[in-house]
Amino acid sequence: MRTRVSVSTIILAAITALVAVLLYSPLFVPIVSSFFEINHGQVDWSTLTLSAYISLSENSDVLAALRATLIVGLCTVVLSVVCGTLLALYYHNGRAGRGALQFVITLPFLMPPVISGLALLIFFREINFDRSLVTVVIGHTIFVLAIVYRTVLTRLQSMSPTLVEASYDLGANGWQTFWRVILPNLSSAMAGGAVLAFALSFDETMITILVTGTQSTLPVRLWAMMRLGFSPDINALVALILIFTIVLCVFAARFLIPKQMLAHRS
């Protein structure tokens, strides 16, 4: 029996390692390409250089697109976290129209992005609202709202109702209970929802193409560059984004681990 368990464990570990290599090894290609020159598809290991990063710092169009993407992402995170938390509290407290509310929140996320983007485009045109980064933020917020809402609502439903009851029994009012009891218990769920919202907003292309104005976000800019090919400074940009994403995931995972688990491990 021990031999069978050992062999099966080795096979599963080998399959897991193979899948990990197939999934993540392409991510290292742009990182390597940003430091070395590639001639006829071969990496020239003798040409270690930072020229791609220097070119990136001088590419005003790409930097402007990246800046617009970060602005849209941060605004989307703030709006989606605030609105998603308030809507989750409304649903959890048993207010009227909960089924219709959940349907309205979830539908844009389940529909194809091209349908959501087209609907927003028609809506903005009918109300004579000029397309800009504001319309992009609105579109992204509607798209990612369901993720934040569901994450916060799940945490609310897992909270013990005795915590709120104890707070009221001790003389706290509704605002004090929310600020000192409910909000601290929702902080990790809100942080997780914010990370997911930022990731989805950073990557969203179809909705952005339909509702953007004169300013382009980074995915739209890269989409346009696909026709002519990418310059070496794009490899540097991808490398920086990958490094930033890895660091963000590590910090987010560390923050989302319950303190009780950390105390138990230590």
- The answer to whether position 30 is within a domain reads no
* Whether pLDDT at 266 is above 60: no
For residues 181 and 189, give the distance between their C-alpha atoms in angstroms, rounded to a whole number. 14
Higher pLDDT, 123 or 161: 123
Give the CATH number for residue 108. Answer: 1.10.3720.10
- The answer to whether position 115 is within a domain reads yes
pTM above 0.85, yes or no: no
Domain count, the chain: 1
**Within 10 A of 102 (CB to CB), how many other CB atoms are there?**
16
* Whether pLDDT at 79 is above 80: yes
For residues 241 and 237, give the distance between their C-alpha atoms in angstroms, rounded to a whole number. 6
- The answer to whether position 39 is within a domain reads no
Helix 98-110 and helix 60-92, axial crossing angle in degrees, nearest 10:
160
Q: What is the per-residue pLDDT for 4?
A: 53
For residues 188 and 152, give the distance between their C-alpha atoms in angstroms, rounded to a whole number. 9
Q: What is the per-residue pLDDT for 261?
A: 43
Task: Identify any residues that bridge with 199 across adjacent strands, giving them in sequence order.
Answer: none
Computed over every residue of the chain, the mean pLDDT equals 82
- The answer to whether position 165 is within a domain reads yes
- The answer to whether position 33 is within a domain reads no
- The answer to whether position 225 is within a domain reads yes
- The answer to whether position 54 is within a domain reads no
Residues 76, 141: contact at Cβ < 8 Å?
yes
- The answer to whether position 175 is within a domain reads yes
* Domain enclosing residue 166, as ranges: 60-230
Token pair of 50 as six digits: 């930072």
Q: What is the pLDDT of residues 182-229, one digit of tens each?
A: 888 888 888 888 988 998 998 888 899 999 888 888 888 888 877 776
Q: What is the pLDDT of residues 155-186, one digit of tens each?
A: 888 888 788 778 877 787 778 888 888 888 88
Q: How confident is the model at residue 81 (pLDDT cuts 50, 70, 90)?
A: very high
